[in-house]
Structure 1
Amino acid sequence: MSLSKLLESKGFQLINSQYTSLLYTDAEQETGIILDTHLYGENKPSYPYHEYTGWQNMLMHKFARLYRFIDDEDPENRRHVALILDEIDDEYDFRQFGTDRQINEIDPTRPEYNFESLFEQVYGSQYLHALEREHQYVDLVGKSRYVDYLLKTTNAKIAIELNGEAFHHPLVISRKKYQSQLLKQNSLMKDGIKVYRWSNAGMSDEKKFADQMRLYFGQKGTLCEKPSANQFRDISFSLFKHQQAALEDIQNGRAKGKSTFLLVLPTGTGKTEVFIADYSEQRRLGNAKRALVIVPFKDLREQTKERFLERDHSLITSSDISDLKADVIVQTTQAIQRHFSSLSSDHFDYIVVDEAHHAPAQGLKRVLEHFNPKTLLGCTATDKRLDQKDLAEIFGRYQLNMTLEEAIKQKLLPPIRAFRLESNIDFSQVRFNGKEFVKSDLNRSVILPSRDQLIVDVISKYFDQVDSDTGQSLSALQGVIFCVDVKHAKRLAVLLNEHMISAEAVSATSREGLKKYKEGKLRFLCACDLLNEGWDAPNTSIVVMARPTMSKVLYMQQLGRGTRNHPGKEALYAIDVVDSYGSAALQPWSLHSIFNLSDYRPFADVFNPNEAPVGEEIILDHLYEHERNLRPIKLFNFEEEFGDFINDEQLARELFVSTGTVKNWVKNQSVLPDKQLPFGNKTLNYYKQDRVDEIRNEKNLKLRSETTRRDDFFEFLEQRDYTFSFKIIFLLLMLKHADKTGEVSLPMLRDDYQAFYKSLLAKYGKAEKSNSPLNNPEFLNDKKLLTKSILQNPFEKFERKSFMYHAKDLDKLAFDAFLWEKLEIGDVELIREQMIEDGRSYFDKHIEAGAFRTEVFESV
């Protein structure tokens, strides 16, 4: 039976199509199924990947459940469909593929960085903690997979995939890879986790992407903002002891306050008997009501349940981890990883991981970090001593709600010692575009030989000299300097080498220095952007912030290059290059503003500045020319000052007016900002959140929101306010050319707009009212002028009401994401009919009475 017939037999109906796909839905329209019909045959169509993801994201939001399948008879594909549609219920043993991306993918890729930056703009930096990077997940066939981000909300979990076209577009990748991609996506959806995908092209229109995030993820109040960090349990090892001796070791360790144990016994010497006996004793003492035993294979699961019952017939055993009546739950690694997060951290009093050497560290870390039992016991038969380190890494971790500052104070991460390198570079004229400094201004103001020399001098003086008193130096420490661009990175690298400090510039196209740096053959890397794509070097002891940034995300990610522990590493030295900001109150992030620290002592631990110097700090104390007094510094913490305020653009969005309208109100003083922030030759305006309703009432504006967008749009059209015909023809062309995501190529629309009015001019001797520039052939033939006219007149009317927006970088116009989401096929036809009716009436009145038939509008 074909998949389409199978879906129809299950009550699904075909309701739509897109490119190579058909869309089915059930009678309740709760479940949607996309069927890809002809991706891999001859005459493949061509379409951009962001349109593929855009359509799917809209459907993902619309349906409670959305699945996607390839429509062919491949056995693996049919098994995949059967698993999703509950026709079969196969169990698979856990399979680990690849390496631990939590370790090997430390830094974000470029799409991930863009996503995090835009996410922060929409929700604020405190909600970045709701995003879990490189979330591990086990799919329906037991394969360990990774999701770029898991977003935790109060209502649900959302998977976010940030894709490159070359690696994810179904028309580009192989069928096998695409099938794997769908298995991953459908497995997540099967467990109630919706999956949203974006590419760089899909995120390039920031306004649209911000609206999509609010639409798909919800408002701030639904996100979880509490950060988490790892802590380590104190572990007791019991190696090659037989049963009674092993039990005594565990009991002795428990008496010393330990709760985590690693038991290594040769095969056949009764590991199972040991943990059953220990559990039984803890149960008798009232310390272990419910136990979980994790095994790698299904066969071992059944054997273990039988062994428990042989020892104690009164026990209730189960394989359902949510079974509240069971005393002992025995389940496979694969099953546990798919369902553990639904349970509380104290759900089990006693947890055993049997055959621990078969269980990959990556597969169990999240499970064991999640639970906090009274006893955690790992059992293995391996005699490979190297395995002890890996097992300690698995069993030793558990999850804490903890900030970076708290983790450092508890000595889980190295301390941070700060140095503020003050330059006299005038920063007051560097422009700020609302979220970052304008790079061309940074190039002009920051990439200066004198500033670079200051940086090299500090490194040379403090990290490349011998302390005359002790004979010690810090010349073995390695570091990263974050620069403005490639040119800046290369200049700094050359300058460091001239001072006999080995350095290389690295970028996306020049990565030769990374390997040498990790091998200790290179002291400094000069990076023009984030070191990403899996680069990890815990040996980094120095980070120099030579690129001023207003992005807290960027600053924290750069700082994070050095916050990992490493043998012999005493501290991370963060050097902030502090420029002159004149009268501007807005300043780039620094270590002190990030952590809101108002006192500074050069090279001191930022969280413990009064502690007596130790180790490396003593060397720096001797090298520093002045008294290292603790002194106050003037800080501007943007979040603290303006975190609860909204700016002009945000106020405009709340009120559904244009940003220009808000700025005009401020200019004519009909609206006064609550705070103003001078920055260069500009003034940034900010308003208290509770002013929104007040200003709306003062301006007699109707309460509008995303939920009213469709009704607002039809209300706007019903006004039939036509000074000229521009709005009519423009809207018809928007509907004609809009893709499934509501986007339209501006050049394509302009060319049709031009052709329509040129045809009127040729036929009737005029294209519009007598005072319209469209009656001028030179104007009509000038595409640049015509584009400007379209944007200034018909488009601006829709943009002001938040019905449309201009994606300048993509040269596209687009319907608002919330509006496009609400418009049904019938709505589009109603709008077309109204525009054609209004157009006929308009042109009959102003050009030639009775001449305008419906056929005139066929081109639009």
Structure 2
Amino acid sequence: LYEHQELALQEIEALRRATPPPHAVLKVFPTATGKSRIVEEDLAGYLATNPTANVLIVGPSLRVVADWVERLEPLGFSLGSTTESQIVVGTYHKLWSLQQEASPEHFSYIVFDEAHHALAPVTRRSLHYWNCDFLIGLTATPERLDNRKLEEVFGSYKTSLTLEEAMKRKIISSIRAYRIETNLSLAEVRFNGKEFVNADLERAIRVDSRNHLIVDVLQEYFNSGEKGIIFCVSVAHAQQMERLLKGQGFSAKAVSGQTRSMDQIVEEFRFGSLQFLCSCDLLNEGWDVPEVEVLVMARPTISKVLYQQQLGRGLRRTERKKELFVLDVVDQYGALARPWSINALFSIPLYVPFGEVGRTYQRGDIIEVLGLSEEVRALIPVDITTFENQYEGHLDEEQAARELYISTSTLKNWVTKGEVQADLTLPLGRRRLHYFRPESLEEIRSIKGLTVHDDETLKEDFFAFIAEKSYTFSFKMVFMLSMLKHADSYGETQIDTVLEEYRSFYQRRLVAGLPVDRPSCIYTREYLDDQVSLKRNMLANPFEKFERKRFVHYVKDLSLIGFNPILFESLSNEDRKNISALLRTHLAEYYQELGGLADELL
């Protein structure tokens, strides 16, 4: 064991000795530094003392699940996906589905891998169901894009090992950085304050000259079978890179969430002749292939979390692989949205091609890399500022508006009129992006007479929102009636069930020869028959109005739609009946001049 692993195990044991269960801990270490090994060792000791204890281990994907099964088989306990096994291993869905067959006390020990996902509403509520003695979360990236804190689930934690320290101790591969610099300008690519707008980015990035430049560099330096991943903007970009690589004699495969036979492709990548995977949003986390020697960052990102996740795919150190080559594709950026790079991540202001991270170079030093010896002739200054580190802690318009419990357009209007002040205003073409320090929100509340809206006010806020009767179309009323009708005892249901109830209301009006809605409504007979478009519209319009107020949530992976657990628990059966009755009254009034609302259409 490494020192940080032994220390982590000692801390867990000290916690058990100091206080009675239940215990919850979060272990934060860089990718490839052996987080799973900590659990293996602790679990072996725990089961030696508690040989009949039941264990649940959950992760984000089937690939992560398979890795855990392989790791734990030597322990000698029964492993499986049902409660018939002593150690149950599965995806996050298990936290929810096993509630139908096991009591809250069934599992004594629960492991939550990639723990930054634990704050998702359904996942968090599912975790609360289980009354385990010990809960441990593992993650390399505790920061979340929504700025919520993992302390809410796991309590306080500390990061005792950095990437730099892990490299110095030779726990992970050392990193050598190379910058592929292009003349492509991304200055006009929009971004939403958190990330580039993907449609704009794809249009800008899919340029033959840029992609050819990447292939030329790979041809020059990595034509001896080194395994690599190219992170791409879109499926089309990944497919284009595959074609160009194959055209130069490389073995390559584009992969995405739509790719079938991934296990077979990974086997060919690890042990066969497949040299490069061109990935679109697939290999960012929970994917461990030690053979990866080359990462090409062909997808610029403003998100430090995403960049670190992608970097983590190549950090595993092996007997054969001691170094990881990271190729940052560096385009021309405006003064505003600068993405992450190796130099930015490690605060290295002077660039040396294929220089090793953590080493300070001088002119005349010799770099030995890829079988070559090169003299350092220049130390090249590079801009290491990124949008995220320059304006860390600021809330964008959307985040600030949600905290203030108003619409984004209302906040923008107040700023434009000078009624409130943004802490930071940045130009982007003809637009202006406004940012706010968290402490400034209280001043805005004071100026505009706003009250704080939190979990304590959810029920009151929900009733007030329904009572507003603010309806451009009937969508919100029909959607919420469908939710209330089909919600189970947890306030959840399948999204397709709600969609069918929602759609059938409007289809019944058509059958009855009544107007679907106001003349400008897009719900034609053809539109209602298009389930994909209708679902997209339902999520974008009525659902989003309730979701931004924190009343409902959608879990895409499970196809679940549900009420905020805190809100639903506060609603009595009588409350739900009263809300349904009020919505039916609103609906009848809405349709009074549109042919009426027959009882059978409710």
**What's the TM-score bracket when you normalise by the shorter of the two chains?**
0.5 to 0.7
2-structure distance, mates of 1:588, 1:434: 12
Distance in 1 separating the partners of 2:201 and 2:540: 32
State the match for 2:191 in structure 1: 432
The structure 2 residue matched to 1:147, chosen from 57, 66, 70, is: 57
Distance, in Å, in 2 between the alignment partners of 1:197 and 1:822 is: 31
In the TM superposition, 1:748-767 aligns within 5 A as 748-752=501-505, 755=508
Q: Could you list the per-position Cα deviations for residues 665-688 of structure 1 after superposition, in whole angstroms to 9, with x for gaps in the alignment?
A: 233332332123445665432100
Contact kept, 8 Å, 1:673 with 1:685, in 2: the verdict is yes
* Aligned residue among 491, 500, 522 for 1:741: 491
Counterpart for residue 328 of structure 2:
576
2:218 aligned to which of 435, 446, 459: 459
1:829-844 matched pairs, under 5 angstroms: 829-834=577-582
CA RMSD of aligned residues (A): 5.3
Q: 1:213 to 1:190 in 2, by over 3 A?
A: closer
What secondary structure is seen at the aligned counterpart in 1 of 2:444? Answer: helix
Instruction: State the shift of 1:795 in Å.
Output: 7.6
Q: Name which of 696, 699, 716 aligns with 2:448.
A: 699
Q: State the shift of 1:440 in Å.
A: 4.0
Amino acid at match of 2:209: S
Retained in 1: the 8 A contact 2:61–2:286? no
Asked whether 1:557 is paired with 2:309, we answer yes
| Cα pair 1:484 1:547 within 8 Å, conserved | yes
Distance 1:443 1:830, change over 3 A: closer
The amino acid that maps onto 2:396 is N
1:480–1:540 contact (8 Å) kept in structure 2: yes
TM-superposition CA deviations, 1:62-120 (whole Å, max 9, x none): xxxxxxxxxxxxxxxxxxxxxxxxxxxxxxxxxxxxxxxx9xxxxxxxxxxxxxxxxxx
Does residue 607 of the first structure (1) align with residue 358 of the second (2)? yes
Q: 2:395 aligns to what SS in structure 1?
A: strand
The letter for the 1-side match of 2:340 is: W
Percent of aligned pairs sharing the same letter:
35
Unpaired runs of at least 5, structure 1: 1-101, 103-124, 150-160, 168-175, 228-400, 465-474, 768-772
Q: What TM-score do you get using the length of structure 2 for normalisation?
A: 0.66
Check 1:779–1:193 CA distance in 2 against 1; reply closer, same or farther (3 A cut).
same
1:718 and 1:858 map into 2 onto residues whose CA distance is 24
Superposed displacement of residue 629, structure 1: 1.7
Give the partner amino acid of 2:366. P
Given that residues 336 and 387 in structure 2 are in contact (C-alpha distance below 8 angstroms), is that contact kept between their aligned partners in structure 1?
Answer: no
Q: Distance in 2 between matches of 1:141 and 1:752?
A: 55
Query: Could you tell me how far 1:621 is from its partner in structure 2?
Result: 1.5
Q: 1:403 deviation in Å?
A: 1.0
Q: Deviations over 1:810-845 (max 9, x none)?
A: 9998644542342232321233455567889x699x
Q: State the partner residue of 2:158.
A: 226
Match of 2:349 in 1: 598
**Runs of at least 5 residues in structure 2 that lack an aligned partner in the other structure:** 6-27, 67-79, 89-94, 96-101, 130-136, 138-147
Q: Relative to structure 1, is the Cα distance of residues 191 and 834 closer, same or farther in structure 2, using a 3 angstrom cutoff?
A: same
Shift in CA distance, 215/858, structure 1 to aligned 2, threshold 3 Å: farther
- The match for 1:621 is 374
2-structure distance, mates of 1:598, 1:735? 56
Question: Could you say if the C-alpha distance between residues 798 and 836 of structure 1 is closer, same or farther in structure 2, counting changes exceeding 3 Å?
Answer: same
Partner of 2:386: 637
Q: 1:548 corresponds to which residue?
A: 300
Q: Does 1:708 align with 2:457?
A: yes
Report the AA paired with residue 180 of structure 1: E
SS at match of 1:484: coil
Give the direction of change, closer, same or farther, for the CA distance of 1:799–1:783 in structure 2 (3 Å limit). farther
The superposition leaves residues 244-270 of structure 1 with CA deviations (integer Å, 9 ceiling, x where unpaired) of xxxxxxxxxxxxxxxxxxxxxxxxxxx
CA distance change for structure 1 residues 142 and 774 in 2, over 3 Å: closer, same or farther?
closer
Deviation at 1:587, TM superposition (A): 2.2
Alpha-carbon displacement from aligned partner over 1:329-388 (angstroms, at most 9, x marks no partner): xxxxxxxxxxxxxxxxxxxxxxxxxxxxxxxxxxxxxxxxxxxxxxxxxxxxxxxxxxxx
The CA deviation at 1:662 is 2.0
1:559 Cα deviation from its structure 2 partner: 2.0
1:415-564 maps to which residues of 2 (within 5 A)?
A: 415-433=174-192, 435-463=194-222, 475=224, 477-496=226-245, 498-499=247-248, 502-507=250-255, 508-509=259-260, 514-515=266-267, 517-519=269-271, 521=273, 523-531=275-283, 536-564=288-316
- Residues 465-486 of structure 1: per-residue CA shift (max 9 Å, x gap): xxxxxxxxxx464433333345
* SS state at 2:374 partner: helix
What amino acid maps onto 2:318 in structure 1?
Answer: H
Deviates more, 1:419-428 or 1:612-621: 612-621
Q: 1:410 to 1:144 in 2, by over 3 A?
A: farther
User: Does residue 1:820 correspond to 2:568, yes or no?
Assistant: yes
Judge conservation of contact 1:430–1:680 (CA < 8 Å) in 2. no
Distance 1:506 1:709, change over 3 A: same
Q: Is the 8 A contact 1:836 1:857 kept in 2?
A: no
Checking the alignment, whether the CA contact within 8 Å between 1:600 and 1:609 is kept in structure 2 is no
SS in 1 for 2:505: helix
The Cα shift of 1:691 comes to 1.0
Q: In the TM superposition, what are the counterparts of 1:610-689 in structure 2 within 5 Å? A: 610=361, 612-616=365-369, 619-621=372-374, 628-679=377-428, 682-689=431-438
SS at structure 2 position matched to 1:559: helix
Distance in 1 between residues matched to 2:174 and 2:113, nearest whole Å: 38
Residue-by-residue CA offset, 1:714-767 (whole Å, 9 max, x unaligned): 3455678899999777754542344553456245225326747997x98xxxx9
Q: Which has the higher contact order (CA 8 A, sep 6+)?
A: 2
Contact 1:754 1:780 in 2 (8 A): no
**Residue among 311, 318, 326 paired with 1:566:** 318
Say whether the 8 Å CA contact 2:179–2:329 is kept in structure 1. Answer: yes
1:209-267 Cα offsets, whole Å, 9 max, x none, are 7997999998555454533xxxxxxxxxxxxxxxxxxxxxxxxxxxxxxxxxxxxxxxx
How do 1:153-164 and structure 2 match up within 5 A? Answer: none
What is the TM-score when the length of structure 1 is the normalising length? Answer: 0.48
The residue type equivalent to 1:178 in the other structure is: T
How many Å apart are 1:705 and its aligned residue?
Answer: 0.7
Displacement of 1:418 in angstroms is 0.9
Tell which structure's C-alpha radius of gyration is larger: 1
Please give the alpha-carbon distance, in whole angstroms, between the structure 1 residues aligned to 2:517 and 2:296: 57
Alpha-carbon distance between aligned partners in 2 of 1:823 and 1:589, rounded to the nearest angstrom = 45
SS at match of 2:372: helix
Aligned length: 505
Query: 394, 404, 408: which is aligned to 2:167?
Result: 408
2 CA distance for matches of 1:516 and 1:212? 39
1:639 aligned counterpart, secondary structure:
helix
Q: Distance in 2 between matches of 1:439 and 1:724?
A: 30
CA–CA separation in structure 1 for the residues paired with 2:346 and 2:169 = 16
1:259-285 deviation line (CA, Å, top 9, x unaligned): xxxxxxxxxxxxxxxxxxxxxxxxxxx
Q: What is the rounded CA distance, in whole Å, between the counterparts of 1:838 and 1:487 in structure 2? A: 46
* Contact 1:540/1:562 (<8 A) preserved: yes
Partner secondary structure for residue 435 of structure 2: strand
Q: Which amino acid aligns with 2:311?
A: L
Q: Which amino acid aligns with 1:695?
A: I
Structure 1 segment 201-212 matched on structure 2, within 5 A: none
Deviation sequence 1:145-190 (CA, Å, 0-9, x none): 66235xxxxxxxxxxx7679x99xxxxxxxx953337974769945
> Which one-letter code corresponds to 1:653 in the other structure?
R
Deviation for aligned residue 1:710: 0.7
Q: Does 1:587 align with 2:338?
A: yes
Change (3 A) 1:683 1:784: farther
Q: Distance in 2 between matches of 1:592 and 1:709?
A: 45
Match of 1:290 in 2: none
